[in-house]
Amino acid sequence: MHSRKFQINLVRPFIVALVGLGLAGLTASRGARANGSEKPQPYALIYGTVWDPDGHPLYGVKVKVRRATDKPGKARWELYSNHTGEFAQRVPVGNADYIVWADLKGYKLASGKTLKPGAEVTVHIDNDERADIGLHLDW
């Protein structure tokens, strides 16, 4: 009985020390951000929703984004719509146009209907702003 109590008493200080080191590490990383050494970079946001032709949001659709000046069809960013059909892509701050489109290769609806991509959407960004768009697909 004494040996078990002795083992617990030896382990407790190590656990306290590990927790203390972890908290010290968190405090140090917060301090580094607070004093400006890791400033967050500004960004603009393209935020949108993918819609089926009946006006329902679609989950799991691949969304591609490129700068309007880049080669057509070649995406700089790829992401997927979430369970509410929404997506968000950070882009650099500054005066630029972006092209956003849905890539339906391999995408299947549970109903068996076939979707076609809708029109590409052009988004203009001036500064560190949010641009809201909708990608409307066709049958």
- Which CATH superfamily includes the segment(s) 44-136? Immunoglobulins (2.60.40.10)
Higher pLDDT pick, 108 / 21: 108
Higher pLDDT pick, 65 / 9: 65
- Are 64 and 101 in contact, with CB atoms under 8 Å apart? yes
Phi, psi (degrees; rounded to nearest 5) at 27? -65, -40
Return the closest-CA partner of residue 128 out of 100, 98, 99, 91: 91
Residue 89: band (very low, low, confident or very high) from pLDDT cuts 50, 70, 90: very high
pLDDT digits (tens, 9 = 90+) for 46-87: 999 999 999 999 999 999 999 999 999 899 999 999 999 999
Spatial distance between the Cα atoms of 54 and 139, rounded to a whole number of angstroms = 9
> Where are the chain's structural domains?
1-40, 44-136
Return the closest-CA partner of residue 79 out of 96, 64, 66, 90: 64
| pLDDT surpasses 60 at 103 | yes
Residue 38 is predicted with a pLDDT of 86
Radius of gyration of the chain from Cα atoms?
Answer: 25
Spatial distance between the Cα atoms of 44 and 64, rounded to a whole number of angstroms = 16
| pLDDT surpasses 80 at 8 | no
Residue 115 is predicted with a pLDDT of 97
Angle at 104 between CA 98 and CA 108, to 5 degrees: 150
pTM (2 d.p.): 0.72
Report the amino acid identity of residue 2.
H
Residue 55 is predicted with a pLDDT of 97
pLDDT digits (tens, 9 = 90+) for 16-50: 555 555 555 555 555 555 566 788 999 999 999 99
